[in-house]
Amino acid sequence: MPLRLLCTLALALVLAACGGNEQPATDAPAGSDGDLVLYSGRSQALVEPVLDRFRETTGIEVRARYGRDAELLAALAEEGARSQADVFWANTAGALGAANNAGLLTGLPDSLLQRPGAYVPSSGRWVPVTVRFRVLAYNPATVSESDLPASVMDLPTMEAFRGRIGWTPTYSSFQDFITTMSLVHGEDTTRAWLRGVSALEPKAYPSNTPMLEAMLAGEIDVALTNHYYVHRITEGEAEGAESVAIHRFAPGDVGNLALVTGAGLLASGANDANAARLLRFLLSEEAQAMLAENVREYPVLRDAPTPSFLLPFDEAARLGPEIDFERLRDIEGTLRLLRDEELL
């Protein structure tokens, strides 16, 4: 009978599950160099191919946990010293700064810190892995590039885009962008900017990919996003690639901000040697090339080749304002601002 069969099967599974329980506790005594545990704020679809390659070349097993930066930070905070995590690979400098503030990260050897060509934070507690740039994506079918503002700060004056602007106030890279705006232009100007854009009735999306899908579907005309989301459409398999293009603001504009993803070693981890090998692999030419090709972000190694569809790195970097990423850790202030303006 199906019911009895089902019950028996499931009971067997319960027992198997209970048996499996004890393994993690006995299998990995503290201090040994065993399987690596990675907490990844970057999505599985992007990270897994890189990890597969790492497993192949080193024979080290990596078990990953995926989530958004904030979710993983919350989990790390709850786990405290009991955390099994060895490496935190975050989507934003803000999250790494917050992790460092909370004392979760350990210092890195100089040999690692010297690998990237730029963007190494002054704390020396994490390394940048890839770089992306903030851009204004627009639909060339409905908007002419000459009508787009020279500075992101002028966006609030663009009455023509009322109801047609997309943004992601709850998304970490947008929040890093707001933090930078506060550093560069001051909190009052930033507040006024948020208010001004809000008055144009923008559409808020939970993250960038659905926002660009919405642009392809004709819901919005311009969107504040990161460069690679646009490239993923124009260089990828999606249909409607002609419905989206990149607009860069004038050189030095905060709207062209360079943002890094990065990784650090967690103080709670027990596998420091293997964890450092993973970081070293992420900064290897092979992994950097994979990330550039698959994710369409910029490599951080000075001499790493940049795919032809990307603006040359130096050119893109010159467009953005100069800041120390360590200063992006005042995420609290940004969250307060967004909350005051009813955006979060």
Partner 1 sequence: MATSTLRRARTSWALWAPMAVVVVGVLVPLGYLAVRAFDAEAGELAALIFRERNLRLLGNTVGLTVAVLGLTTVLAGPLAWLVTRTDLRGRRGLTLLGVLPLAVPGYVMAYALLATGGPNGTLAGLTGLVVPRPSGFVGAWLALSLYTFPYLFLNLRTALLGLDPALEESARSLGAGKRETLRRVILPQLRPAFLAGGLLIALHVLGDFGVVSLMRFETFSYAIYLQYSASYDRVYAAWLALMLLALTGALLWGEARLLRGRRLHRAGTGTARRARLQRLGAWQVPAWAFGGGLGFAAVGLPVVTVLYWLGRSAERETWGHLLTALGDSVLASAPAAVLAGLLALPIAYLGVRRPSPLTQGLERIAYLGYATPPLAFALALVFFSLRVVPFAYQTLGLLVAAYALHFLAEALGPVRSALYQAPPQAEEAARSLGRTPFRAFMEATFPLLRRGLVVSIAFVFLSALKELPITFLLSPLGFQTLATRMWSAANEAMFSVAAPYALALILVSTALVGLLLSERTPDSA
Q: Are strands 245-247 and 126-138 parallel, antiparallel or unpaired?
A: antiparallel
Give the rounded distance of the alpha carbon of 208 from its chain centre. 11
Cβ proximity to partner 1, 28 vs 301, nearer residue = 28
Strand partners, 204: 167
Angle at 109 between CA 264 and CA 323, to 5 degrees: 60
Report DSSP letters for 288-341, one per residue: HHHHHHHT-PEESSTT----TTSPPHHHHHHHSPP--GGGGG-HHHHHHHHHHT
Least distance CB 256 / partner 1 (angstroms): 24
**Residue 344 is a binding residue for partner 1 (CB under 8 A):** yes
**Residue 64 is a binding residue for partner 1 (CB under 8 A):** yes
**With the C-alpha atoms ordered 123, 40, 52, 133, is the resulting torsion angle positive or negative?**
negative
**Residue 206 is a binding residue for partner 1 (CB under 8 A):** yes
Cβ proximity to partner 1, 162 vs 339, nearer residue = 339
**Residue 132 is a binding residue for partner 1 (CB under 8 A):** no
Where in 21-60 is the site for partner 1 (CB under 8 A)? 21-22, 24-25, 37, 43-46
**Residue 290 is a binding residue for partner 1 (CB under 8 A):** no
Determine the interface stretch with partner 1 among 64-72, 118-126, 149-157, 267-275 (rule: CB under 8 A): 64-72
Query: At 26, which amino acid appears?
Result: T
- CA–CA dist 7, 319 (Å, integer): 63
**Residue 65 is a binding residue for partner 1 (CB under 8 A):** yes
C-beta of residue 297 within 8 angstroms of C-beta of residue 311: no
Least distance CB 228 / partner 1 (angstroms): 11
**Residue 74 is a binding residue for partner 1 (CB under 8 A):** yes
**Residue 3 is a binding residue for partner 1 (CB under 8 A):** yes
Least distance CB 154 / partner 1 (angstroms): 26
Q: Which of 238, 276, 289, 311 binds partner 1 (CB under 8 A)?
A: 238
Residue among 256, 311, 329, 288 at smallest CA distance from 117? 288
**Residue 199 is a binding residue for partner 1 (CB under 8 A):** no
Query: How many other C-beta atoms are found inside a 10 Å radius of the C-beta of residue 111?
Result: 9
Determine the interface stretch with partner 1 among 13-21, 107-115, 190-198, 278-286 (rule: CB under 8 A): 13-21
Least distance CB 240 / partner 1 (angstroms): 4
Q: Which of 58, 106, 170, 268 binds partner 1 (CB under 8 A)?
A: 170
